[in-house]
Amino acid sequence: MRLTRWGEAVHVKEDPMLSRPNAMDEETQMAKRTLLQILVLFADTEKISKKHKLSAKAGADLPTLTTKELDLAIAACSNKMKEMSVKRQQASSFLRRTSWAIYHKSEFEELITNISKLIDNLEMLFPPPKPSFERTGDEIARNSSEQSLKSLGNASCDVDSTVRAASMGAVLGHHYSNIAVHGKAQVGDTFGDDWQGAHGMSHRYHGVLVGGSGKALMGNKYGGKSFWDD
């Protein structure tokens, strides 16, 4: 996903200069070579995975890591990358056409490390607009369950800082800090007897002072009478 975000942010399909009008030919060629190296890593890992699968004993319980479990840094890598570095031909999503699994954790971790370093090089050479990166990360967080967000946050550690920040922030929910409320206040989520839907994310509260004649709701209200109705 990180690689795909970079490609979309620098318009890899439409702009041969990768959103840098003053980019030198040597720089664009280096970016293409880096993308090709990433594809080679995928191809090498696929060969290793198939080799282990063929050599495994019948009935052996192998710790398979399927495509769905791959870190987002590589799971959504699309053929737009292949299109630029190899043939410049539009093709279907890499994720949709990938059907292999990796059987050994060490090889999976090595793949992640090597690809992450190559993406670091791409981002330093052709930095993507920050708002575009952050917006995509927030969209991922908003469209994921709490459990998947936690897994996403752990998986993206040291690999995709944008996704990690967005996912961990969403898991924590709202963050209330250094707030003074003078009067009536509701801190935390409340659920009416009629509520049958899902619960929201957890929240954090720090330095909240309630007093006077104010009225505040800190958290989410699900079903029943509104907190603001007297």
* 64: amino acid identity, one letter: T
Alpha-carbon 225 to chain mean position: 37
What per-residue confidence (pLDDT) applies to 9?
A: 80
Looking at residue 93, the DSSP 8-state letter turns out to be: -
Domains along the sequence of the chain with CATH: 2-128 (1.20.120.1020), 175-222 (no CATH)
Q: Alpha-carbon distance 177 to 9, whole Å?
A: 34
Contact predicate 203/217, CB 8 Å = no
Which position has the token pair 């993308």? 35
Going from the C-alpha of 64 to that of each of 50, 56, 114, 211, the distances in angstroms are: 12, 12, 20, 56
What per-residue confidence (pLDDT) applies to 4?
A: 76
Q: Alpha-carbon distance 128 to 135, whole Å?
A: 12
Compute, in degrees rounded to 10, the torsion defined by CA atoms 188, 169, 166, 129.
Answer: 100
Q: Alpha-carbon distance 42 to 59, whole Å?
A: 27
Contact predicate 166/197, CB 8 Å = no
Q: Alpha-carbon distance 117 to 88, whole Å?
A: 24
Contacts of 153 (CB under 8 A, 6+ apart): 164, 167, 168, 171
Contacts of 86 (CB under 8 A, 6+ apart): 36, 39
What per-residue confidence (pLDDT) applies to 119?
A: 86
pTM: 0.48
Q: Alpha-carbon distance 117 to 123, whole Å?
A: 10
Q: What share of the chain is helix, strand, coil (3-state, %, to 5)?
A: 50, 15, 35
Q: What is the pLDDT along the chain (230 residues), one digit of tens a residue?
A: 677 777 778 887 788 788 888 888 888 888 888 888 887 777 766 666 665 555 545 444 444 444 443 333 333 344 434 443 343 333 334 333 334 444 555 666 777 788 888 888 888 888 887 665 556 555 665 555 566 666 666 666 667 776 666 666 665 556 666 777 666 666 666 666 666 654 555 566 667 676 666 666 666 666 666 666 65
Within 10 A of 25 (CB to CB), how many other CB atoms are there? Answer: 9
